Structure 1
Amino acid sequence: MRVSVIQMNQGSDKAANIAAAERLIAAAAESDRPHLVSLPETWTNLGGGRDARMRAAEILPDPGGEGGPAYEAMRAIARRHEVFVHGGSIIEDGGEKLFNTTLVFDPEGAEIARYRKIHLFDITAPDGTGYRESALYGGGDRLVTFTAHGITFGLTICYDMRFPEQYLALRRAGAEAILVPSNFTLQTGKDHWEVLLRARAIETQCWIIAAASWGQYEERGAQRSVYGHSLIADPWGHVVAKASDGVGFSTARIEPAVTERVRRDMPVLEHRRLA
């Protein structure tokens, strides 16, 4: 099964972001013919402050219902290219709170999975910049998996990757690959991005598929930067595909035989004693 990670430099113009995602996925589909494409975290909006996020938010329909512009764009992309679309995440209007929410569509355009980010990014970066995701967003409370081409995928978003217990729970729920759409800050990304993702791959013996945003964006008059370097790691922790700086995509083949061999030869899940 071929999987492509899409690397974007989105801003606060939702329509422009949707058009950019459509172009990148079309290019990946023509070049690499993936079975699944994965977008970054909040690919319809990055920056612009609270008002821009509120404008970008969509009320999600019941499965099968008609959704907003991003929801319908993902459905159309899935049908057009006959691929599974992992929609990174978009901003969900949940009423009293927004949610950072992943949607997955099958090649017929049917929604097959929905996940709300569990761990919210409330930190102070090394340069002193503060991030308070919980000021605007609510957190999710359940694990979500889906199956494509016989492979079980687990859903996470960005900051979730720092909580290995969530990844172990997904492995125990049957995950063979785990998706990690992200807007990882440049400050933390250069030191932690790849090592964390490789660690999660090694610990869970899952493929790790991490589509990320890259470049600069404006937030309340200040310039912020996200790291990019979208990647795919195998269950042994090797990076088998990686995007360079800039907008683009990268593709790798997910091999169930590799997963089976790694788990057979080093059955760490069976050996666990303390968790």
Structure 2
Amino acid sequence: MRVSVIQMNQGSNKAANLDQARCLIEAAVAADRPGLVTLPETWTNLGGGRDSRMTAAEVLPPEGSGEPGGPAYELLRGLARAHGIHVHGGSMIEAGGDKLFNTTVVFDPAGTEIARYRKIHLFDITGPDGTGYRESALYGAGDRLVTFEAGGITFGCSICYDIRFAEEYLALRRLGAEAIFVPSNFTLQTGKDHWEVLLRARAIESQCWILAAASWGQYEERGAARSVYGHSLVADPWGHVVAKVSDGTGWATARIDPAVTARVRRDMPVLQHRDARRVDFDRDARPAAP
């Protein structure tokens, strides 16, 4: 299966973001004929503050209901149907009661929603430049892993900050994942040092393809300019970067080859070695009882 990772420069204007996503997906489909496309994290809104995020949020229809959703949800569904492709919607802002959620939805070529994932690990950190990020102030955390099948390949879902938690990727591998999505808004400060290193490490550890569509460029947050790193990429199960977007908006396309996955896992059977010699590292790392 050919997969295109889409790189956007979205802002706080939701209508403009939807139009940008449509244009980029249609251009990628016309040029590269992928069977699946994937968008960045919160492609419907980046910046503008709390009110902007609340305005961009959509109430998602019940899973499996087939009921209509909001403008972003229906755009993804319509693009899947129009082009006969799977569409992994990066993540969008989901209205969920007291909290918002950072949520992925996936559609098959018939426009049927086949997967939904809420980001588990929330970005509560202080960046190298002293800028604070407190995702949990506005968003709730997801509580379950999600996989789905497309084109005979099992895909796993994750979002951005999840990449720093290797155990999530090993758990997805145990659930059968052969490729894992990482839609992201990586900050420029952390991205330039950590982005590619982390993605390649998760690919090597899990022996999965890593599909990372990212946001690039500047956006405004409560009157201050912030920057995100971009460099969307696809890494194979050996950790090689096989397709990559540089600066600017655009896309990169790679073919997910199950034969490569099978060969890497056969020749270096790390999951079997883990299972054969399993040690409870969490237990052994805990201080002894007094």
TM-score bracket for the superposition, by shorter chain length: over 0.9
Q: Which amino acid aligns with 2:279?
A: L
The Cα shift of 1:210 comes to 0.1
- The match for 1:25 is 25
- The match for 1:266 is 268
State the TM-score, normalized to the length of structure 1: 0.99
Q: Which amino acid aligns with 2:185?
A: N
1:146 aligns with 2:148: yes
1:7 aligns with 2:12: no
- The match for 2:47 is 47
Residues 33-75 of structure 1: per-residue CA shift (max 9 Å, x gap): 0000000000000000000000000000023011000000000
In the TM superposition, 1:47-86 aligns within 5 A as 47-62=47-62, 63=64, 64-86=66-88
The Cα shift of 1:211 comes to 0.1
1:124 aligns with 2:116: no
- The match for 2:115 is 113
CA RMSD of the aligned region, Å? 0.5
The Cα shift of 1:96 comes to 1.0
**Counterparts of 2:208 and 2:91 in 1: how far apart (Å)?**
21
- The match for 2:287 is none
Pick from 155, 172, 189 the counterpart of residue 170 of structure 1.
172
1:229 partner SS: coil
Runs of 4+ in 1 over 2 A off after TM superposition: none
1:262 partner SS: helix
Which structure 1 segments of 5+ residues have no match? none
Aligned residues: 275
In the TM superposition, 1:186-265 aligns within 5 A as 186-265=188-267
Residues 61-118 of structure 1: per-residue CA shift (max 9 Å, x gap): 0230110000000000001111100000000000111000000000010000000000
The Cα shift of 1:274 comes to 2.7
Q: Which amino acid aligns with 2:21?
A: A
Q: Which amino acid aligns with 1:274?
A: V
Residues 217-246 of structure 1: per-residue CA shift (max 9 Å, x gap): 000000000000000000000000000100
Residues 180-233 of structure 1: per-residue CA shift (max 9 Å, x gap): 000000000000000000000000000000000000000000000000000000
Q: Which amino acid aligns with 2:24?
A: L
- The match for 1:158 is 160
Residues 119-147 of structure 1: per-residue CA shift (max 9 Å, x gap): 00000000000000000000000000000
Q: Which amino acid aligns with 2:13?
A: D
Aligned residues: percent identity? 79
Higher Rg of the two aligned structures: 2
Q: Which amino acid aligns with 2:114?
A: I
1:251 partner SS: strand
State the TM-score, normalized to the length of structure 2: 0.94
The Cα shift of 1:161 comes to 0.2
**Counterparts of 1:190 and 1:20 in 2: how far apart (Å)?**
25
**Counterparts of 1:79 and 1:48 in 2: how far apart (Å)?**
32
**Counterparts of 2:166 and 2:180 in 1: how far apart (Å)?**
12
Q: Which amino acid aligns with 2:211?
A: I
